[in-house]
A and B are shown apart, each in its own frame.
Chain A
């Protein structure tokens, strides 16, 4: 399962679990982690629906461009499905 995805470049306020430095970046799904209650709602005591969570693997070249310390090193982060668009 090497599905390519892009992290949405949105910047909503509040308790967000998607780091700003990964927004707009493209990677591949490393594995699906199952469903978890949405922390962006849980943080405010709101009814939180279950959302699929994925581990997405990015290359350092994709994340940091020319500034990458070693372009072929990689970074994995957990991103919720509603933050991802399939490519």
Chain B
């Protein structure tokens, strides 16, 4: 019987994920086991990689942004080479090629990958589900202003929008503008204002 009614808690029923493996899940397991059997990788290395990826979160990017807000020299290095600047802060971002794009009064940047869902995972962790949807990917390049409105971001008519379609080897992070009224805040307090969405360009930093 389909569970299309509400549960006693008032939430819709959600299907258990105990369906048989898909083709690609089976393929992933087969390749992983082969790599282990052939001695290319150990199970401990696989687990360590999964843990390293899970440990990455938008907090790493937020720390980079906050440093750029308080340190003009660091900001210059970030805009010149965002991979090197992130490593300089101690983040192991692997072979990631990162470009930072700066929001100003005149320019607002928005990141999308229309071909798939390229995202700076090695710095920001896993992307939000909506980032991978066809709706976001197709609309972000065609009607970015409407998308921003739906995300609750209102910009001045004078602000130009610059969309970045991450199509090949580079990944992008938006350096949002530092909110006003934050002059007395230290780096850690500033980092707490930097949201994941503000580093994609679909949001703005929190106000103090």
Contact = CB atoms under 8 A, between A and B. Distances in A.
Nearest to B137: A19
Interface string B64-75: 000000000000
A84 B44 CA distance: 45
B144 A77 contact: no
A83 to B, nearest CB: 10
Contacts of B183: none
A77 to B, nearest CB: 4
A9 interface: no
Contact of A33 (B145, B146, B169): B169
Interface string A42-81: 0000000000010100000001100101101111111110
A75 B114 CA distance: 12
Interface of A: 17-19, 21-22, 33, 36, 39, 53, 55, 63-64, 67, 69-70, 72-80
Contacts of B146: 69
Interface in B137-168: 141-146, 160-168
Given A21-B141, A73-B144, A78-B170, 16 more contacts: A19-B167, A22-B165, A39-B168, A53-B168, A64-B142, A67-B142, A69-B143, A69-B144, A69-B146, A70-B145, A73-B161, A74-B160, A74-B161, A76-B163, A77-B167, A78-B166
Contacts of B163: 73-76
Contacts, number: 64
Chain B interface mostly: mixed
Contacts of A17: 115, 167-168
Given A19-B115, A21-B114, A69-B146, A74 B169 contact: no
Contacts of A18: 167
Chain A interface mostly: mixed
A69 B169 contact: no
Nearest to A74: B162
B108 to A, nearest CB: 9
Contacts of A39: 168-169
A36 B167 contact: no
A19 B177 CA distance: 30
A10 B167 CA distance: 17
Given A19-B114, A73-B161, A78 B142 contact: no
A17 B161 CA distance: 23
